[in-house]
Amino acid sequence: MATVRYFAGARTAAGTSAETVDATSVSDLLDILEDRHGERLTKILGSCSFLVDGLACREPSTSLAPESTVDVLPPFAGG
């Protein structure tokens, strides 16, 4: 199972800082998270960036290994 770690507003919307999900791709993962957490997280996921095992991921078709870690990063203000 992949580990999903949430940051900032995504953490608030998910109601947890981390969880495990049985998903085979980023797209599959997003579908599961949207079903699991509902509209509040779904809205935030649309503007989030994702890191898969520490690398930026822009392709929803990216495969996930059972031991993958996916970081969900909403846009951050300030600098």
Given a cut of 90, is residue 77 above it in pLDDT? Answer: no
pLDDT tens for each residue of 38-64? 999 999 999 999 999 999 999 999 999
pTM: 0.92
Burial grade of 75 (CB within 10 A; 0-12, 13-18, 19 or more):
exposed
Q: Which CATH architecture has domain 2-73?
A: Roll (3.10)
Average pLDDT, the chain: 94
